[in-house]
Structure 1
Amino acid sequence: MAYEIPVTQARAELADLINRVVYGNERVVVTRHGKPLVALVSAADLERLEQAAEPVEDQVISAVSTVGSAPSAAGERRQRFGIAAEHRGPDAS
């Protein structure tokens, strides 16, 4: 669990907070009016977070890039967003 501290107090104790993060392996959440504002994490934690996020981003990019490139079958009605619709005039039943 992260240690929470108000921004006004964090300003005065920045050096101590950095030591807690680096040497105490803690995560510090700086708050304003009781709401999380920023987090202090070690460089090693940040690297792990960035590496964990990369595969997800790559999967999304590859999935999105293949959506538009799929060939459609002849005579297939074009569907967008999973909805098939066809306009029929007032005479059609």
Structure 2
Amino acid sequence: MEIAVTKARKIFAELVNRVVYGGEEVVLTRHGKTVAGIVSADDLELLRRVRAGRVELRLAETIADDGPRHVPDSVPLPIAAQYRPPGPQPPGFGRRP
């Protein structure tokens, strides 16, 4: 939900309840530009951990032919792209043997 700061002041308690109990995120704007947000305590903790460099992205599920399956938290997120410098590529470059 996006709302102007001036209006948010009038319904602040309602906005907090929507975040806490409804799982919503509230984006506060001033003159049409985003200036702040109201997020849950869990999201705030995650943001703090990201900023402190204490978050490691992990693959929680993979999609197999038979649907999602659980993967242990210790499995790191695989790299989905590879840098290829401009120009001609050597044979087999970027392919797994």
User: Equivalent residue for 1:61?
Assistant: none
User: Equivalent residue for 2:43?
Assistant: 45
The structure that has the greater radius of gyration is: 1
Return the alpha-carbon distance in structure 2 between the equivalents of residues 47 and 14 of structure 1: 21
Identity across aligned pairs (percent)? 54
1:18 corresponds, among 10, 16, 19, to 16
| Secondary structure of 1:47 counterpart | helix
User: Equivalent residue for 2:53?
Assistant: 55
1:51 alignment partner AA: R
Return the alpha-carbon distance in structure 2 between the equivalents of residues 30 and 37 of structure 1: 6
Q: How many residues align?
A: 54
| Secondary structure of 2:53 counterpart | helix
Runs (4+) of structure 1 exceeding 4 A deviation are none
2:5 alignment partner AA: V
More helix by share: 1
Unmatched segments (≥5 aa) in structure 2: 55-97
Return the alpha-carbon distance in structure 1 between the equivalents of residues 51 and 25 of structure 2: 19
Measured on the aligned residues, the alpha-carbon RMSD in Å equals 1.3
Unmatched segments (≥5 aa) in structure 1: 57-93
